[in-house]
Structure 1
C-alpha cells in the first residue's frame, strides 16, 4: 500500500509540473490572436507605430516563448524584436533554414496568394543559437502590403 501511495504522489507531481511548463509555451491560438492584434494596430495607429511596438523585445507582441514579426510583400523585414539586424537587409528572401528551406519566400508567397496560414521551418529560440522546429502563422494585414507572423516551437511543447 505504501508503494502505491508513493507512485500516486509521484504521478500527481509529474502531471502538475508538466502543466506548469505548458503555460510557458505559446500556443497556436495565441499566435493567431497576436497577429490579428498587430494587424489591428497597423490599421489603427499606422505602420511606424506598429514597427516601434513590434520591434520592442519587452512590448505587447512578445510573450512566453514567442513574438510577432512584420514584413512587407517584397520580402523586407520591417520589425523583429530579437533579430533587428534582419531589418537592415534589403530583403531576406535568399535566407534559408538549416534544411535549405527558403522560409521567407514561403511567408511572402502565403501572404500574397492566400492571405494567412502556417509555415513549418527551423529557427533558433529567443536567446539560443541552435535551430528548433517552428510553426509560424502568417497573416496579411487587410488593405496593406505587409504581413505579420508569430510562431510556436515544436517538440515537447503543447499547441
Structure 2
C-alpha cells in the first residue's frame, strides 16, 4: 500500500515538476551572458566551436544559445540546427512573415540588448510555438537565447 501511495504521489507531482523546469526569461538572459563571458575569456572561435559541438553549458533542452555575427547577421553557431550556420539571419522570417532575424540584428546594433518575439520550432516538442529571445551584443557578435511561451 505504501508503494502505491508513493507512486500516486509521484504521478501527481510530475506534471508540476516538469512545468517548474521550463526555462524562464532569467535563464535565457543568463545563458546569453554566459556565452559572451566565455567568448571574452576564451575567444569567439572557441565559443563558436563549443556551441556547435552542443556543449551542455550552451544547450539545455529547449534553452540554447545561438551566436551571430553582429556586422552582417550571419549565424556563426547553432547547436540545434547546423544548417543555419553560415546563413544570414536578416533573411529569416517566421511562419507569420515576421522578419525576426532583421529585428534581432537591428536590436543588437541599436541598443545592444533586448527581446524579440516570433514563432519558431521547439526542439523538444517538434512543433512551431511562440518564442521570445534575449539578444545581447558584445564586440562583433551577439548571443541569442530564448524561451518558448505557452
Superposition TM-score, scaled by structure 2 size:
0.86
Gaps in structure 2 of 5+ consecutive residues:
1-7
Cα distance in 1 for residues equivalent to 2:54 and 2:123: 10
Cα distance in 2 for residues equivalent to 1:65 and 1:22: 13
Among 98, 103, 107, the residue aligned to 2:95: 98
| Residue 120 of structure 2 corresponds to residue 123 of structure 1 | yes
User: What is the number of residues matched between the two proteins?
Assistant: 142
Partner SS state of residue 147, structure 2: strand
| Residue 126 of structure 2 corresponds to residue 149 of structure 1 | no
Cα distance in 2 for residues equivalent to 1:129 and 1:24: 18
Gaps in structure 1 of 5+ consecutive residues:
1-9
| Residue 133 of structure 2 corresponds to residue 136 of structure 1 | yes
User: Which residue in 2 is equivalent to 1:77?
Assistant: 75
Spell out structure 1 runs of 4+ moving beyond 6 A.
none
Question: 1:98-136, CA deviations, whole angstroms, 9 ceiling, x for partnerless residues?
Answer: 010011101101111011111100000115553110000
**Aligned residues: CA RMSD:** 2.0
- Give the greater-gyration-radius structure (CA): 1
Cα drift, residue 31 of structure 1: 0.8
Cα distance in 2 for residues equivalent to 1:46 and 1:149: 17
Question: 1:20-66, CA deviations, whole angstroms, 9 ceiling, x for partnerless residues?
Answer: 01243111101111111100111110011000111123431011321
Q: Summarize the Cα distance change of 1:23–1:130 in structure 2 as closer, same or farther, 3 Å threshold.
A: same
User: Which residue in 2 is equivalent to 1:5?
Assistant: none
Task: Verify the 8 A CA contact 1:111 1:139 in the aligned structure 2.
Answer: yes
Task: Verify the 8 A CA contact 2:51 2:77 in the aligned structure 1.
Answer: yes
Superposition TM-score, scaled by structure 1 size:
0.81
